[in-house]
Amino acid sequence: MQLLLLAILFVLVSTSEGKTCNGNGYRTDCGHYGIQQYDCEQLDCCWSPKDHIPWCFHQNPDTVYRVKTLIKTGLGYELTLEMTDTQIPSALPLLDVSITFETEDRLHVKISDPENKRWQVPKEVSPYPDPPSEAPTNTQYEVTIADEGEEFWFAVERTVNGESLFNSSASSGVEFLTYHDQYLEIGTDLPSNPTIYGLGEHVSSLRLRTGQTYTLWNFDAPNPVDVNLYSSHPFYLDLRDGLAHGVYLRNSNGMDVTLNEQSLSYKVIGGILDFYFFLGPEPETVIQQYHDVIGRPHLPPYWALGFHQSRYGYPNIQALKDVVADYHEHKLPLDTIWSDIDYMDEYKDFTVDPTNYPEGELKAFVDQLHTDGQQYVVVIDPGIKNEESYKPYDDGVKAGVFIKDKDDKFFVGKVWPGHTVFPDFFHPDADQYWHDQIASFLDIVPVDGLWINMNEISNFCDGECSGGGKKFNTTDDKRIEEFVYKDEKDVGFNPNSPPFAINNKGSRAPLNVKTLDMDALHYDGVLEYNVHNLYGLMESISTKLALGKLSNKRPFVLTRSSFPGSGKYAAKWTGNNHATYDDLYYSISGMLSLQMFGLPLSGSDICGYFGDSNAELCARWMQLGAFYPFSRNHNNKGATSQEPYAFDEQVTDISRHVLNARYSLLPYYYTLFHYASRPISSTNSPAATVTRPLFFEFPDDPNTYDIDRQFMVGNGLLISPVLTEGAVTVSAYFPEGRWYDFFTNKRETKFGGEMRTLQAPLEKIPVHVRGGVIIPMQQPSLTTSEARKTPYQLLVALDPCGVAQGSLYLDDGISVDVSSYSLITYDASSNEGQTSLTSKVEGTYADGPDIPPLDTIVVLGVATEPSSVTINEKDVDASQIQYDSDSSSFTLSKLQLPMKDKFTIIWSE
Ligand SMILES: *[C@@H]1O[C@H](CO)[C@@H](O)[C@H](O)[C@H]1NC(C)=O
C-alpha cells in the first residue's frame, strides 16, 4: 500500500498554478536546453527534474489540429487541418495533409504548410518518385483517418492481417501532432518489445534498443556509442512475426527519434513531416521499395571491390612505394593504395607537397600503379584554405561559391590547413567550380578516385572562427520566412540553440558544435540550419559528376557523411573507429545498417583507426574485413603500423588466406552489386543489399532478430567471425537449412535452427555456404584485374532436395554505360537420384574473346560418388571427376566451357 502511494506521488507533480501534471510515460518538451523552473512554469508547463528528460514538458496536447476539410481523391485523401488551441503562437495555424496511395506497397503521407514555404529537401538532391497517374488496385495497406471536425490522426494497417503499423493517435500519451516553426512532433504506438532497425548513423547494436533516443544530426565525433555521427538516415525497418515494413521520414533537419517500450516518436526541429511507408513484406523487399524512392546504389568499378591500404602518416612517396612492394613480396592482394592528407602541400586541397610528394615523381608512381593494374585514391576535404593567391580560393571568391555567414561574408571555419571557407553546393556555379579544381588536380596526379572526408561539415571551431572572412555582397539573399520565431516571450530565432535541443553530441549540445553556425547562408538564402545534414550528399553528387566527366570511367567516391540517396554516388566507411574488440564488433552493425540505407559499398577501417592495433586483433579484423563489401585497412598517424605484413608471419599468412578467399569471391560480390544497383524499372531483382543481417534471409526465425555478430553475404554465405580477445571458439547460430564449410566443403552434421560452438583458432574464420545456393567464383590473384582473367568456378551447394540456384553478372567492370553485359543464371535440380545443372545466358558480354571459360564445378552435398557425368549429353572423362567421400563433394575440372554457351550437366548418384 505504501509502495503504491509512493509510486503515485512520484509521477504526480504540481505546478505553481496548482495544476497536477502526470510525469509518467511520454513527454513533449516545452522548454529549451537549460530552462529553469520559473520560466518553465511561466509557459504553463510541467516541471519535474526528478526523472527523465525533458524536465519541462507539456501536460496536454498543446496544439490541437482538427480536420477542417477532408476530400477523397482518386489517389487517396487531401485534408486541411486547423489549429483550434492557440496556447503557443509559434505553432502553424493551418496545415495541409496529402495521403497518396503510390503503389501497392508504398504509401505517402505528407503534412506540410499550405503555402509550401517551409524547408523541403530538394528533389534534385535526394529524389522521390512522382505520384502515379492512377491509384493502385490491391494495396497491401489500408489507411484510417480522423473525420471532419475531429482531432487529426492517421493510421496505417497491413491489409492481410489488420495489423496496425503506424497510428499517430496512439496511446501512452503521445501527442497526435505538434507543428511549430522549430518543433514538430508525431509518433506511433508499437507492439511491446518492438523489433526495429535503422535510424542511423550510430555506433550501436543492430536491433535498436527501447528507452533510447537516436539523434540524427551530422557530426564528426570519434565513434562514441549511441551518439549522433557523420550521417543522417531517418529510415527504420520494423519486423513483426516475420512481416516487415519500413518508414522513411523525408526530412533533413535535426531530430530525435525515441524508441520506447510501446511507442516511437519523432521530435524534429524544422522542415515538414513527409512520410513514406513501405509494406514489404520481406525485409529485403522493404529495402528495395525504399531504394526505389531514394535512388538505387551505384554499380562500383570492379577494382573498388579489391583490397585497399591506407593510413594517415605515410611520410612520402617512398613509403607508398614500400607498401605496394611489401604487399607484392608477401603475395598479399592489393588493388589500391591511398593517401590521407600527407600528400598535400600544407594540407591544402588540390596541391601536392613539393618536398615529400613532388609532382613528377608522384605522377610516375601513379602511372606505374596503373601499369601494374593498381589504383591510387587520395583524400580531399571540403575546407578550402582562406588564403589569397591560392587558386582554389581565388576561383571560389570570383565565382562567389562559398558558404556565407550571417553578415554576408564568407563563413570562415578551421580545418587542417588552418582557416578555411567551404564550397556551397547549392550555388548553381559550384559544380563547375568543383569540376575545375578536380580537373586541374587530375592533370597533376591522375588519381582513380576521391575520398571526401570531413564533410559533416567538420570544423575545429564551434561555429565561425573569430577573425571572420571577406565581405561578399550579393542581392539574392532572402531568409526563409519560416524562421521568424513568434514565441510570446519573443526569444527570436535562435539558430544554434533552438527551443528544443536535440541530443547532439549526447549532451544536448548546441547545433554549431564542431561545425558551422546554423545561420550560415547557402545560395538563395538557404539556412545551414535546414541543410546541414545534406552537405556530404551534395559534395558526393558534385564530386562524382566531375570525376565522371573527366575520366569517362565509372567514378569512385568514398564519403564519410551521407543522407538518403548518397549510395547513388558514393561508397561509405564508418569513420574514425578504434583498434578495439568493441569496434570490431560494432563494424558489423555499421555495415549492415548502411546496406539498409542504400550504401552497400561499405565497411570499417580494418584493424582500427585510433590507437595501436596488435597481431591478434588485426588478424581477426583482416578475417572479418575481408568480407566487408568495402575492404580497407586504415590507420591513424603515430599508431603502430598495421599493414597485414607488419606484425608477424602468422598474421601475414592469415591475411593472405582470407584475401585470397575475397578475391576468389569477387564474381559473387559483383553480381550482388549488380542486383542492388538495378534500376527501378527492372523487375525480379532478387535483392537490394550485398551483405545482410540473418533475419533478412530468415524473417520467420525470431532467433535471428538480435544477431549482429554474424552476417550473410548475399543469400549464400554465412560469416561468423571471432570478435573476442583470446577466443579460439565462436558460438554461431545456424538457421534451418543445410550448411557447408566454405573452406573444407564439409557439410555440418546437423541441419540448423540452433546455436553451435565452432572451433576458430586464430588462423580460422568460420564461413559457411548455404545449401540451395550456387556461388560463382574465380581464382585469387594479387589484383582484381588479374583475378578477372582467371577461369571461372561454380560452387554448387545442394539443399536437402538436391536443388540450388545462382547467377553471375559480367561486364567490363569500368564503363559508365553498362549496356554490354551478361547475366548467367545457374539452376540445379534433382529427380530420382539424377541431378541436372543448367545455365542460361542473357546479354552479349560473355561472347567476348577474352572472357575466361568455366573450368571447375564443385558440387557439395553428394552422398555417393556419381556413377556418370554428362555435359550436353557427352560423357565426361573419368579423369575430370574427383569425388571426395570425406566431404561428400565432387569436383569437375578442366571443363573449358565457354561462358557464353548454355549447358546441361547431368549426374546420377
Ligand atoms: C489507433 O489508435 C487509437 C487509440 O489507441 C485506436 O482507438 C484506433 O482504433 C487505432 N486505429 C487503428 C487503425 O489502428
- The full DSSP string for 427-441 is STTHHHHHHHHHHHH
171 lines ligand 1 (CB under 6 A): yes
> CA-to-CA distance for 563 and 599, rounded, in angstroms?
10
> CA-to-CA distance for 447 and 452, rounded, in angstroms?
13
Instruction: For 768-786, write each residue's pLDDT tens digit.
Output: 999 999 999 999 999 999 9
Nearest-CA residue for ligand 1 atom 4 is 170
Q: Which residues contact 60 (CB under 8 A, 6 or more apart)?
A: none
164 lines ligand 1 (CB under 6 A): yes
Q: pLDDT-derived band of residue 831, with 50, 70 and 90 as boundaries?
A: very high
Mutate-to-test residue for ligand 1 from 167, 171, 175, 190, highest number of ligand atoms within 8 A of CB:
167
Which atom of ligand 1 is found nearest the CA of 169? 2
Q: pLDDT-derived band of residue 304, with 50, 70 and 90 as boundaries?
A: very high
Decide if pLDDT at 728 tops 60: yes
Q: Which of 200-214, 225-239, 432-446, 667-681 has the lowest mean pLDDT?
A: 667-681
> CA-to-CA distance for 134 and 104, rounded, in angstroms?
11
Centre of ligand 1 to C-alpha 166, Å, is 9
Q: What mean pLDDT comes out for the span 370-383?
A: 98
Decide if pLDDT at 89 tops 70: no
pLDDT for res 4: 43
860 lines ligand 1 (CB under 6 A): no
| CA distances to 3, 12, 235, 720 from 51, in Å | 18, 12, 29, 41
Q: At what angle do helices 649-664 and 615-625 cross, to 10 degrees?
A: 0
Domains of the chain: 1-62 (no CATH), 65-294 (2.60.40.1760), 307-664 (3.20.20.80), 684-770 (2.60.40.1180), 774-908 (2.60.40.1180)
Instruction: For 249-303, write each residue's pLDDT tens digit.
Output: 999 999 999 998 889 999 999 999 999 999 999 999 999 999 999 999 999 999 9
Decide if pLDDT at 393 tops 80: yes
168 lines ligand 1 (CB under 6 A): no
pLDDT for res 2: 44
Report the relative pairing of strands 375-380 and 336-339 from DSSP bridges: parallel
pLDDT for res 18: 42
Report the relative pairing of strands 449-452 and 557-559 from DSSP bridges: parallel
Taking a C-beta distance cutoff of 8 angstroms, is the pair 306, 256 a contact? Answer: no
Which atom of ligand 1 is found nearest the CA of 164? 14
Centre of ligand 1 to C-alpha 170, Å, is 6
Dihedral sign (CA 593, 594, 596, 601): negative
Q: pLDDT-derived band of residue 665, with 50, 70 and 90 as boundaries?
A: very high
Instruction: For 212-260, write each residue's pLDDT tens digit.
Output: 999 999 999 999 999 999 999 999 999 999 999 999 999 999 999 999 8
Nearest-CA residue for ligand 1 atom 11 is 155
> CA-to-CA distance for 199 and 214, rounded, in angstroms?
7
Centre of ligand 1 to C-alpha 168, Å, is 8
167 lines ligand 1 (CB under 6 A): yes
Angle of CA points 453, 454, 456, to nearest 5°? 120
Centre of ligand 1 to C-alpha 107, Å, is 18
Is the model more confident about 261 or about 200?
A: 200
Q: Which residues contact 133 (CB under 8 A, 6 or more apart)?
A: none
DSSP single-letter state for residue 484: -
Centre of ligand 1 to C-alpha 478, Å, is 43
pLDDT for res 479: 34
In the predicted model, what is the mean pLDDT of the chain? Answer: 91
Instruction: For 812-830, write each residue's pLDDT tens digit.
Output: 999 998 889 999 999 999 9
Q: pLDDT-derived band of residue 752, with 50, 70 and 90 as boundaries?
A: confident
Q: If residue 543 lies in a helix (H) or strand (E), which one and from where to where?
A: helix 535-551
pLDDT for res 497: 87
- pLDDT above 70 covers a percentage of the chain that reads 91
pLDDT for res 493: 63
CA-wise closest residue to 234 among 123, 126, 97: 126
CA-wise closest residue to 581 among 473, 472, 723: 723
251 lines ligand 1 (CB under 6 A): no
163 lines ligand 1 (CB under 6 A): no
157 lines ligand 1 (CB under 6 A): yes
169 lines ligand 1 (CB under 6 A): yes
Taking a C-beta distance cutoff of 8 angstroms, is the pair 477, 490 a contact? Answer: no
Q: If residue 632 lies in a helix (H) or strand (E), which one and from where to where?
A: strand 631-633
Instruction: For 477-499, write each residue's pLDDT tens digit.
Output: 333 333 333 333 334 567 898 87
| CA distances to 343, 370, 613, 790 from 571, in Å | 22, 21, 25, 27
Mutate-to-test residue for ligand 1 from 143, 164, 171, highest number of ligand atoms within 8 A of CB:
164
User: Within 10 A of 477 (CB to CB), how many other CB atoms are there?
Assistant: 15
> CA-to-CA distance for 276 and 249, rounded, in angstroms?
7
